Amino acid sequence: MQDHTPNFAMHELSALNRELIAGTIHQLVDRFVADRTLDSESLLEFWVELPGMKRSRGTFRGGFLMPDSFVYLTDYFQSGPDGIQPCGAYSGADLQQAWADLLDEFIYQVEIFTSPIPSTKGVTLELWAGNRKRPEGEWLYAVDKKIELL
């Protein structure tokens, strides 16, 4: 059996970049939830562009670009009468704990993609929150924002 684990050291994102990502995710999720009800297909996706590195990208059957990674929003939240609330797995926990867990997972995934380079300066993240038509991959509804890490 061959080990296919990438050979690189993880680099943690700076506090400033963590705040930038967290603020952007809050904006996207809040906007999405204001416009739509969360369901089992509600996603938060991202694409990473590393300066000076080219990578092959996958596509859905309909030709739409696959994200580098994603999380299901309903693993953390559900729609409630007053907006977003923690999902059932967080019974007894407050909304802040669900947000903290989502951001920890998301930032960890971004750190995996940015670790092959020594600095995150110039790294571009494109973040989308929305619902896709399956299996074609076309967005039914989405909000997005592109940010550059410092």
Q: What is the pLDDT of residues 82-103, one digit of tens each?
A: 888 999 999 878 899 999 999 9
Nearest to 41, CA basis, from 146, 141, 145? 141
Q: What mean pLDDT comes out for the span 1-22?
A: 82
Report d(CA 42, CA 142) in Å as an integer: 9
Domain boundaries, the chain: 15-148
Q: What is the pTM of this model?
A: 0.87
- In 3-state terms the chain splits into helix, strand, coil percentages (rounded to 5) of 30, 25, 40
